[in-house]
Amino acid sequence: MTRLLALLLLVAAASAQPQPDTLWTRINASDSITIQAIDCEVSASGAVFVTGTTYNHDNGRGTGWVQKRSSTGDLLWTSYTLADDQQFFYSVLPTPDGGCVGAGSKYSEGLPQRSFAAKYSASGEREWLTILSLPPGVIVATSYPLITAAPDGFYLGLNGTDSSFFRGYIAAARFDMNGDTLWTRMLDVSGRDEQIRHARTVNGELHLGVQTLAGDLPESAVFARLDAAGNLIDANEYETRYAAIYGFVSDAGDGAAFLLRTYDASTERMANELLQVAPDGTLIGSTVLPWPVYADSATYYFGDLCRTPAGGYAAGGIRAVPDGQVGLRLTHVVAGVGPSGDGAWLRELLLLEDRNSDVANTAIALAPDSSYVLAADRGYTFFPINSIVIKTGPDRGNGRIAGVVRSARDFQPVFNATVRTRDGAFQTTTLPGGEYDLRLPEGMYELVIEKAGYCATSVTDVVVIGDEDQLRDFTLNAPTFLCNTTSLNLQWAGETIERSFLVANANGNCPLEFVVEEDVPWLTVTPRSDTLAPEQTTGMLLTISEPLPPAGDYTEQVRFVHNAEGSEFILTVTLVIPLELGDLAHLPQTTVLHPAYPNPFNPATQLAFELKHSGPVSLLIYDVRGRLVASLVDGTLAAGSYTREFRPKDAASGVYIALLRTTDVVRTQKLLLLK
C-alpha cells in the first residue's frame, strides 16, 4: 500500500501546458499502474475530494481510493478501501466534519458484486465501512453506487442485476451518518433495463437521473423523485434520440437538466444536448449545444454537469482535434451555457501532449469561490491511464461589445436600431450617431441587429470574454417598396373588373417582404404576399366581382404591410355602382331638383333629385344671408334618383335656399320653415 501511495502522490506537471484560466493542476501518474479518477466534490470550506481506482496490470486487481486536497491543490491525504478484495470507488460526498463518505463496489471470489460505503475523518482515517444489504426483490448484485446527501445522513442510488444478468435493475438506500441502513428500495421507473447515472438531493428528496436501455444501447432519460422514506413520488420519461446521459443536476426552483449525447438518424450525426425539465417533471425543452461529437474539425466529450453561479450549466470534458503528427490533440475544457441554454462559453484548461484515442471520464464540481474543479483521466494510446485534478478560475464579469450601426445604402448612422442576443435576454438600442454598447456575461452568442424598415442581420459565434471590451461595427441593408399607382377609380358595368399594377423592390439591397390586407367581400388582390429580391418587380391583380353592395359610390383601402421604411402602403380603390344597372332606359335623362315636400315644413322636408351623369355632386342649404346651414350631399354619386332629408336644428323660421350643383348643372329651390 505504501508503493501505491507514493505512486499516487507523483505529480507529472511537465506533460501538460496550463492555460491562463487554470489556477492549478495536480497529476497522479505512474509508469506501471493505471490511476483513474471517477468523481470529485468540493466541501463548503473549499477542500477537494476525489475518488478513483488504481489498476495493477501485473495481477489484474483494482483498489479504490479517496483523496483530499486543499483549496490550493495540496494533497492532504489518500486512503484506500479493503485490502483483500477488488474494489472500485465511484462517488464521494463531503461531510460537515471535514471528512467524507465514499461509495464503491467490491468483488470477492465466488460472490456477486456488492456495494459499500465508507466514512473518512477530516484527517483521512476510516471510521466505518458498511457493505450494503440487498434490497428486497430479484437483485443479486449491485454496483456503481452514487452517493448524495440526505437528512442526517446520505442516500445511495444503486445499479443491480438479476441472476440471469438479462436485465438491469435500480435501487435506492438511505443511511444515517453512522453507516446504519435506514431503508432499501427496489425501483422500477420504466419497466425496462435501467441504470442510475446521477443522484442529487433537493429539499430532502432523492432525485435520480435514470438511463433506460434497449439491449446495450441507451434509449431514453427518466427524472425520478423519491421522498425521505423511499417512496417514489413520480417518474417522468423523456423520449430522446439514442440519448446517453453524461450529466444530471436538479434544483428546487429550476427543476432538472440532463446532459445527453444524442444521435440523429436523419443526419447520422451525434450531438451534445441539454434537456431541461420543470420541478414537476414537465419537459421545458432541449438545446443542441455548439460543441459537436465526432466532427471533422473537433470532437467534444463531456462527462459531468454542474450549475454555474449565474444559474446556468457547466460541463467538464475533453476537446479532441485531429493532428497529423500525433493523431489527436487533446485539451481539457470547461464549457457552459446560460439558464435557458444560450450564451455558450468555453475555457481551455490544459493541453495534453500525449496521444489519446479514448478519454473515459471527467467529473466537475462548483467550488464555494465560484471556481470549478475537475477530476479527469489522462489516457494514452495504450495503458497506463493517469488521473488529473484541475481547478479553474471563477466566472468573470460581463464583457462589453460596442460599435456603430450604419445603413449599407448611404453609410449613415442608424438611430434606434436594436442590438440583441438571439433570445432577447440582452439588448440595447443605438444612439442618434448609431453608437451602441452591449454588456454580456462571458460566453458565445448570436447577435441580431434590427430596425423597422431594414432587413435584420445576425452574426454567429460572437465570443464574449469577461472583463474585456471589443469593437464591432454593423451595417443594415434596407428594401424599398414602390407601387406604380396609388389609387384606382372604377365603375361597375355588369362584368368582373380586373386591373393590373406593379410592386417593385427598386433600389433596395435586401429582400422586400409584403402582405396584402383587405376585408372587402367583392374586392380581392393577388398575390396575397410575396418576397422580392433587390431590383425585382412583380405583377399584382385587383379583381372586383359579384355579389356587390347596393348602388352607390364606395371607397376602400387595400393595405400592403411590408418591411421597408414606412411599414405600410395604402392603395385607394373607388368603385361606382350605378342605380338599377341592367335597365339603363330607366335612368334619368336630365338632372333635376324636384320640389321639396312638404313645403312649407316643420320640422323636416324631403328633397328629391335625379342625376343624369355620375360625378361630383353637392346639395347644400343656405339662409337668405348666404350662410351655409347644412350639407346634405358632398361627394361623388352615380347616375340615378336620390332623396335627402333636411331637418334643421335650432333654426329660426324663415326662407332657406337649396342648391344642387353638378359638374354641368346648378339647380336652386326656396324652402319655408314655419314654427
Q: d(Cα 558, Cα 572) in Å, to the nearest integer?
A: 6
Whether the predicted model's global pTM rises above the 0.75 cut: no
3-state secondary structure of 528: coil
So what's the pLDDT on residue 429?
95
Question: Do 409 and 552 lie in a common domain?
Answer: no
Number of Cβ within a 10 Å radius of residue 427: 15
Residues 6+ away with beta carbon under 8 Å from 109: none
Q: d(Cα 496, Cα 413) in Å, to the nearest integer?
A: 49
> Which DSSP symbol is given to 394?
P
Is 75 part of a structural domain of the chain? Answer: no
Instruction: Give the residue numbers spanning the domain of 197.
Output: 132-293
Q: Which residue has the cell 494533497?
A: 75
With CA atoms as reference, report the closest residue to 645 among 633, 663, 655: 633
So what's the pLDDT on residue 621?
93
Question: Do 214 and 259 lie in a common domain?
Answer: yes
> Which DSSP symbol is given to 413?
B
What's the grid cell of residue 172? 435506492
Where is the domain boundary, 240, 270, 293?
293
Q: d(Cα 559, Cα 555) in Å, to the nearest integer?
A: 13
With CA atoms as reference, report the closest residue to 223 among 211, 241, 235: 235
Question: Do 512 and 455 lie in a common domain?
Answer: no
Is 346 part of a structural domain of the chain? Answer: no
What's the average pLDDT block by block, 10 residues per block, for the chain (675 residues)?
37 37 78 78 96 78 89 92 72 95 82 85 94 76 88 92 74 93 91 90 94 82 95 91 84 86 79 92 90 80 90 88 70 86 78 50 90 80 67 79 94 95 89 93 86 93 83 95 93 90 93 92 94 95 90 88 91 83 61 92 91 90 90 86 87 92 92 89
Question: Do 510 and 567 lie in a common domain?
Answer: yes
Where is the domain boundary, 476, 508, 531?
476
Domain at 489, CATH number: 2.60.40.10
Residues 6+ away with beta carbon under 8 Å from 670: 655, 656, 657, 658
State the total domains in the chain: 4
Question: Do 231 and 169 lie in a common domain?
Answer: yes
Question: Do 560 and 628 lie in a common domain?
Answer: no
Beta pairing, strands 487-491 & 568-577: parallel
**Cβ proximity of 296 and 288 under 8 Å:** no
Is 638 part of a structural domain of the chain? Answer: yes
Is 349 part of a structural domain of the chain? Answer: no
